[in-house]
Amino acid sequence: MSSLGVRVLFGGAELDVDDPVFKVYNPASIPRGGDRPYIYVNIAMTLDGKVHLGRPGYLLSGSPADRRSMAELRAAADAVMIGAGTLRMDNPVLGVNFEDLREYRTAQGMGVEPLPVVVTASGRVDENARVFRTGFGRAVVLTCSQADKSRLSVLEARAEVLVIGDERVDLSKAVRVLGREFGVARLLVEGGPELVFNLLRERLVDEFFITLVPVVKGGKDTLTLVEGEGFKYGELPELDLVSVLEAGGELFLRYRTKREDQRQ
């Protein structure tokens, strides 16, 4: 059991380490990508799968273990990606807010903070959002040809703007550009649900880290873990359970997506 009261219920290689820095997830347990970054999603959700509570910001349990798990997963990442909807709703910083984890990154030669990446097809995001004002280097904005050119010219003063795709961002090409031109070998995705669907559709998601919070939200219009068009029967992404951890009634679930040759 870690110092945050995290218990291993299944699997748990994440906690089988000698390094006292890591309380929930050990970055060494997350692979680094090859021809594209290794992509893992981290989102907290209610028992009924909702990721939003009807107030600004996506669901965060606020528990010490959940805050620490988010920071450790960010500490492992070369870049953290969010969609424009998450930026508008949550206005996150995407930084690592634990000094010991920042020191770990520096010792690993990774830089103090991961690279912030924002995906927007329209280009209509606030150039004054906190992600563009971290002081730890310029963010990357991934967009497409249909984006508002006047908005992109404004964003170029605050970020590296990359136009990849025509009517929507070509995520398969975009993540490979992040790997090739920005040295991103591990890419953390923190939503929103539409972006997660699009990445799944392109078979780009390697793992899910899900914090299951013991509350129920309900509501047919409340956002769930994955939105978008949905998958047809027979084309559903399949996953293997890697580990289950528990702390304070919350479950920390880790799933790895199956490759094509592993699908039933």
Q: Is residue 78 part of a domain?
A: yes
More confident residue, 224 or 247: 247
pLDDT for the residue 17: 53
pLDDT for the residue 5: 83
Q: Is residue 174 part of a domain?
A: yes
Rounded (5°) CA angle 180-85-123: 60
Mean pLDDT of the chain: 89
> 255 - beta bridge partners?
208, 241
Q: Is residue 1 part of a domain?
A: no
Beta strand pairing status for 7-10 and 239-247? antiparallel
- The structure's pTM equals 0.93
Give the total number of structural domains in the chain. Answer: 1
pLDDT for the residue 55: 63
In the predicted model, what is the mean pLDDT of residues 99-114? 92
Q: Is residue 22 part of a domain?
A: yes
19 confidence band (pLDDT: 50, 70, 90): low
Q: Any idea what the CATH number is for the domain that residue 103 is in?
A: 3.40.430.10
More confident residue, 22 or 150: 150
pLDDT for the residue 231: 86
More confident residue, 233 or 260: 233
Q: Is residue 245 part of a domain?
A: yes
Q: Per residue in 34-93, pLDDT tens?
A: 999 999 999 999 999 888 776 655 555 668 889 999 999 999 999 999 999 989 888 888
Q: Where are the alpha helices (DSSP H) in 58-192?
A: 64-76, 84-90, 99-107, 149-155, 171-182
Q: Which domain holds residue 121?
A: 7-262
